[in-house]
């Protein structure tokens, strides 16, 4: 309830601020569009119904950036950090919330964890902004280049995908520095703060001559993330070599394929037009968006570790083994139950939302004419639930109820997986009795 209330309060406050005259460049952003933008920002999604760079004033863009930063780390993290700065004791409830959202086990020190997360975030974003400014300065006035650099760095690290440029990052698709910095920020933000801390500790141990050690969580997150990045790049190249990438040099094709493989994992930045992508690429991107980033990160989706556990369970069943194992470790039944529940709820939610959108947006339209809408709406739904932000371009043209469905999905995608994992992981209460068993045919 606290997690949900914090995100809801931020979204409502953001809506009020973005609907105010000082935040709008022309004063013609409707209340629904302001609410959609606020929800998309605080849920670090990146879906937009109006152009962020031209329809909002610099003050409105600051509001959007603040919502992205708050939503990326979670408001409870900032609340605990404020308490630490003021010298207050951390409440037991706050400790449980931080550990449940950012750590896979009982955190050794919540104060250290929260401080490290905030300082690591600010330092990483500052480095990203500096590197981006090296490329933006030759193309823009100094003040605008500085603001663009800060905005895109924070948006990339928080996996939000918001851009102030009219064509997102298409103008820089051949720029290795911009693509490298943005994709690097997305990957670091999407791996999760715990993984980043473990990698940092491992590097220190290596420099000190000690044997570095990573937890199973970190190793699994890194293995699945690396596999998906390589697989996504290879398949994007194969599917779009003669389509979206047709007129690009080979080096630019490789760069674009790599960037879109990274962005599809919850970032939402784009250097190509998904409105002209092939059906196979849309399906591939839907899968990558559904998986998303790693737990305890700024991204959404069912998470990389969930996919890894489901693959391990399938392999165990294929071999006829009772317990799933990953990297020479046995996975507890409770963890596997949470992974299965999360995947099934996510599948059910996206399926139901796609049906609702088809019913709202395609009423009375024959199937022969509505076939393109099915792929586009499914793409939009998974993008919203995975808090990705990629779009085929139909978001601004959805009806009011259709935009409302996407807003609920973005909220569920940012808050739902966290609350679901905690709810499923709650202490089980044994029943007073068990019904008699009876067999059912399967398959």
Could you report the per-residue pLDDT of 320-378, keeping only the tens digit for each? 887 888 888 899 988 898 889 889 989 999 999 999 998 888 766 666 665 557 888 99
| Residue 408 CB-half CA count within 13 A | 13
- Of the ranges 302-316, 405-419, 424-438, which one carries the lowest mean pLDDT score? 424-438
The mean pLDDT of the chain is 85
Residue 435 within a domain: no
Residue 46 Cα distances to 10, 314, 367, angstroms: 16, 34, 30
- Of the ranges 2-11, 63-72, 106-115, 144-153, which one carries the lowest mean pLDDT score? 106-115
pLDDT score for 267:
85
CA distance 43 to 138: 33
Which residue bears the tokens 């975030």? 121
pLDDT score for 155:
93
Q: What's the rounded mean pLDDT across residues 163-192?
A: 91
Q: What angle do CA 17, 18, 23 make, to 5 degrees?
A: 95
Closest CA to 332 of 314, 311, 315, 309: 309
pLDDT score for 414:
84
pLDDT score for 86:
52
**246 phi and psi angles, rounded to 5 deg:** -60, -45
Q: Is the CB of residue 300 less than 8 Å from the CB of residue 412?
A: no
pLDDT score for 176:
93
Residue 96 within a domain: yes
CA distance 113 to 109: 6
pLDDT score for 6:
80
Residue 182 Cα distances to 23, 32, 287, angstroms: 27, 30, 22
Residue 202 has pLDDT above 60, yes or no: yes
Residue 352 within a domain: yes
Residue 437 within a domain: no
CA distance 87 to 3: 23
pLDDT score for 428:
56
Residue 18 within a domain: yes
Residue 265 — very low, low, confident or very high, per pLDDT cuts 50/70/90? confident
Q: Is the CB of residue 266 less than 8 Å from the CB of residue 293?
A: yes
Residue 365 Cα distances to 356, 374, 376, 401, angstroms: 15, 12, 15, 18
Rg (CA), the chain: 22
Closest CA to 288 of 228, 221, 244, 339: 228
- Of the ranges 34-43, 79-88, 388-397, which one carries the lowest mean pLDDT score? 79-88
Find residue 325's DSSP bridge partners: 330
Residue 93 — very low, low, confident or very high, per pLDDT cuts 50/70/90? low
Residue 95 has pLDDT above 80, yes or no: no
Residue 437 has pLDDT above 90, yes or no: no
Residue 432 within a domain: no
Q: Is 318 exposed, middle or buried (0-12, 13-18, 19+ CB in 10 A)?
A: exposed
Q: Is the CB of residue 76 less than 8 Å from the CB of residue 118?
A: no
Domain that residue 405 falls in: 2-424
More confident residue, 107 or 130: 130
392: left (phi over 0), alpha (psi -120 to 50) or beta: alpha
Residue 276 within a domain: yes
Closest CA to 417 of 385, 388, 389, 390: 385
- Of the ranges 116-125, 136-145, 282-291, 309-318, which one carries the lowest mean pLDDT score? 116-125
Residue 114 — very low, low, confident or very high, per pLDDT cuts 50/70/90? confident
Closest CA to 384 of 422, 365, 357: 357
Residue 107 has pLDDT above 60, yes or no: no
Q: Is the CB of residue 395 less than 8 Å from the CB of residue 46?
A: no
Residue 234 within a domain: yes
Find all residues with CB under 8 Å of 249, minimum gap 6, and list them. Answer: none
Residue 415 has pLDDT above 90, yes or no: no
- Of the ranges 71-85, 144-158, 223-237, which one carries the lowest mean pLDDT score? 71-85
Q: Which pLDDT tens digit goes with each residue over 46-79?
A: 899 999 989 999 999 999 999 999 888 765 565 5
Residue 193 has pLDDT above 60, yes or no: yes
Find all residues with CB under 8 Å of 242, minimum gap 6, and list them. Answer: none
- Of the ranges 76-90, 153-167, 179-193, 327-341, which one carries the lowest mean pLDDT score? 76-90
pLDDT score for 260:
94
CA distance 354 to 273: 22
Residue 232 — very low, low, confident or very high, per pLDDT cuts 50/70/90? very high
Residue 185 — very low, low, confident or very high, per pLDDT cuts 50/70/90? very high
Beta strands, E only, 122-248 = none
Which residue bears the tokens 């599917």? 239
Exposure string of 245-270, with b = 16+ CB inside 10 Å and e = fewer, is beebeeebbebbbbbbbbbbbbbbbb
H-run or E-run covering 120: helix 110-136
In this prediction, what percent of the chain has a pLDDT beyond 70? 85
Residue 81 has pLDDT above 60, yes or no: no
- Of the ranges 94-108, 209-223, 245-259, which one carries the lowest mean pLDDT score? 94-108
DSSP label at residue 260: H
Count up the domains in the chain and report the number: 1
CA distance 184 to 166: 22
- CB atoms inside a 10 Å sphere around CB 67: 28
């Amino acid at each position: 309830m606290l997690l949900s209330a914090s995100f809801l309060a931020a979204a409502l406050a953001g809506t009020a601020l973005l609907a105010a005259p000082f935040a709008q460049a022309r004063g013609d952003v409707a209340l629904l569009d302001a609410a959609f933008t606020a929800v998309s920002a605080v849920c670090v999604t990146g879906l937009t119904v109006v152009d962020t760079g031209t329809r909002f004033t610099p003050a409105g863009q600051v509001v959007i950036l603040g919502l992205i930063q708050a939503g990326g780390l979670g408001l409870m993290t900032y609340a605990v950090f404020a308490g630490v700065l003021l010298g207050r004791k951390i409440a037991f409830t706050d400790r449980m919330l931080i550990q449940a959202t950012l750590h896979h086990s009982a955190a050794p020190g919540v104060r250290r964890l929260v401080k490290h997360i905030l300082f690591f975030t600010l330092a990483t974003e500052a480095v990203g902004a500096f590197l981006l400014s090296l490329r933006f300065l030759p193309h823009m006035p100094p003040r605008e280049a500085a603001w663009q650099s800060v905005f895109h760095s924070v948006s990339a690290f928080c996996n939000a995908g918001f851009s102030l440029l009219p064509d997102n990052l298409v103008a820089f698709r051949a720029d290795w520095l911009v693509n490298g910095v943005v994709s690097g920020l997305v990957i670091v933000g999407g791996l999760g703060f715990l993984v980043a801390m473990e990698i940092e500790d491992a590097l220190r141990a290596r420099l000190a001559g000690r044997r570095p050690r990573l937890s199973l969580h970190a190793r699994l997150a890194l293995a699945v993330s690396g596999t998906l990045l390589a697989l996504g790049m290879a398949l994007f190249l194969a599917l779009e070599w003669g389509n979206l990438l047709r007129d690009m040099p080979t080096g630019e094709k490789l760069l674009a394929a790599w960037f879109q493989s990274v962005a599809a994992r919850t970032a939402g930045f784009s250097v190509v037009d998904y409105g002209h992508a092939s059906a196979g690429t849309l399906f591939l991107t839907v899968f990558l968006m559904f998986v998303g980033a790693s737990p305890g990160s700024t991204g959404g989706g069912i998470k990389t570790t969930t996919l890894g556990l489901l693959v391990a369970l399938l392999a165990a069943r294929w071999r006829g083994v009772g317990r799933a194992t990953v990297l020479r470790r046995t996975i507890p039944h409770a963890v596997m139950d949470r992974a299965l529940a999360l995947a099934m709820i996510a599948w059910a939610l996206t399926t139901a939302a796609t049906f609702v959108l088809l019913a709202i947006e395609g009423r009375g339209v024959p199937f022969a004419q509505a076939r393109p809408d099915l792929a586009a709406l499914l793409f939009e739904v998974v993008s919203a639930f995975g808090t990705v932000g990629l779009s085929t371009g139909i978001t601004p043209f959805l009806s009011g109820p259709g935009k409302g469905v996407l807003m609920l999905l973005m909220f569920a995608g940012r808050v739902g997986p966290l609350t679901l994992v905690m709810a499923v992981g709650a202490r089980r209460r044994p029943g007073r009795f068990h019904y008699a068993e009876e067999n059912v045919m399967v398959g």
